[in-house]
Amino acid sequence: MSQKKRFKGVYVIVITPFDDDGDIDEESLRSVVDFCIQAGAHGLVTPANASEFFALSDTERHRVGRMVVQQAAGRVPVILSVNGGSREVAVDFTRHAHDAGASGLMAMPPPIKTPRPDGVFRYFEAISDTSDLPIIVQNSVFVGKTMSPEFLARMVDELEHVHYVKEESEPCTHVVTRIFEQVARPEELHGVFGGQAGRHMLNEMARGICGTMPACEAPELHAAIWKAYHEGDLESARELHNRALPLLNMESLYPLQLYKEVLRRRGVIRSAKVRNEFLSPFDEFDHRELDAILDKLADILVTRGPFA
C-alpha cells in the first residue's frame, strides 16, 4: 500500500490479547487483526492506549507492531505508536516501526515528566527527522499533558512529516475546529482524527475530521456510522450512533475490561485478561448490562472470530 495515500475512515486501535497467565497470545492477536479488517475497519493502530502499551515491555511493543503489520499484509494501513519517555526512546521506536513496514506513526508527548512546549516540539522534531512516514500527533486528555490548538498547528506547519492530529482533549469538538483555523499551511494538514471511542463522532464529522480512532470491539458499528454519514444519510447515521452510545458509555467506565470482554464473547480472543491489577473485574451486574447492550446490537455486530 502506498505510503502517500492519505489516511481516512475508521482506524481502530488493536488491543493486545493476553492468555490467563498474562503472556501475549499471538494467535488471538492475529485473530484480532483479521477480525477488524473483516468487520470493516479502514486502518489499524497499535500499540496505543487501548492496546495497553504502558503495560508492554519495549521488546513486546516491537513484537506486537511487527505481528500486526505482517498479519494485515497490506490489506489496510497500519499505524504504529512510537510514544516514549524521551526523544531517544521515541526515536528508537520510530526506527523499529519504519523497519517493520508501518504505514505511519502516532505519538503522544512523554506521559511522565512531560517537557515544556519547546521540549515537546524537539521530541516530535526528532521523530520527524528519523523517518519519512506521516506522523499523527495524539492530543490525549487520558495520558500525559494536552497541547493547545495553536501548538498543534505550529507542528503541522513546521515539522516536515507531521500531517495529522488525533484529537481527544476537552472539548475535543471545539479543538478540532481550532486546529483547522490555526494551521497556516493547510496543505500540510492531511487530516484530524477523532477519538474518545467515537462518542462525539457526528459532531466531529460535521467539523471535517478525516477519520475516527475507537477501540476495536465493534468495528462494524463505527464503520456503519461513517458510511451512512458520508453517503448523506444523516438520519441513519444518527440512529446508528444513538444505538452505539450505551456500549460506548459503558466503555468509558471500564475501557480495557469492556474491549476484551466483548471480543472474547465474539470469539475473537480466548481470554479477557488485562495487565492491570488495579482495575475492577466485571461483576454480575456488569455482565447482565453488557448482555442487554449486545442483544440490541446483534443485527450489526455479526462478525465472529475463530474461538466462537
Q: How high is the mean pLDDT of the chain? A: 95
Residue 1 pLDDT more than 80? no
Mean of the pLDDT values across residues 169-177?
94
Q: Is residue 18 assigned to a domain?
A: yes
Nearest partner of 45 among 176, 213, 217, judged by Cα = 213
Give, in order, the Cα–Cα distances in Å from 94 to each of 165, 166, 177, 197, 205: 17, 18, 29, 25, 30
Residue 295 pLDDT more than 60? yes
Residue 70 pLDDT more than 90? yes
* Predicted pLDDT at 144: 62
Distance separating alpha carbons of residues 246 and 296, to the nearest angstrom? 10
Q: Are strands 104-107 and 135-140 parallel, antiparallel or unpaired?
A: parallel
CB 108 within 8 A of CB 128: no
Distance separating alpha carbons of residues 28 and 127, to the nearest angstrom? 31
Q: Is residue 308 assigned to a domain?
A: no
Percent of the chain clearing pLDDT 70 (strictly above): 98
Distance separating alpha carbons of residues 28 and 34, to the nearest angstrom? 10
Domain of 111, CATH number, reads 3.20.20.70
Confidence tier at 178 by pLDDT (50, 70, 90):
very high
146: left (phi over 0), alpha (psi -120 to 50) or beta: beta
Q: Is residue 187 assigned to a domain?
A: yes
Distance separating alpha carbons of residues 169 and 161, to the nearest angstrom? 22
Number of domains in the chain: 1
* Predicted pLDDT at 4: 66
- At residue 144's C-alpha, the angle toward residues 138 and 150, to 5°, is 55
Query: What's the predicted TM-score (pTM) here?
Result: 0.96
Tens digit of each residue's pLDDT (9 = 90 or more) over 266-276:
999 999 999 98
Q: Is residue 234 assigned to a domain?
A: yes
Residue 242 pLDDT more than 60? yes
Residue 281 pLDDT more than 90? no
Mean of the pLDDT values across residues 16-45?
97
Residue-range definition of the domain harbouring residue 208: 9-296
Tens digit of each residue's pLDDT (9 = 90 or more) over 37-47:
999 999 999 99
Q: Is residue 1 assigned to a domain?
A: no
Mean of the pLDDT values across residues 279-290?
93
Q: Is residue 68 assigned to a domain?
A: yes
Tens digit of each residue's pLDDT (9 = 90 or more) over 9-20:
999 999 999 999
Distance separating alpha carbons of residues 183 and 180, to the nearest angstrom? 6
Q: Is residue 2 assigned to a domain?
A: no
Q: Is residue 236 assigned to a domain?
A: yes
CB 218 within 8 A of CB 258: no
Distance separating alpha carbons of residues 149 and 167, to the nearest angstrom? 10
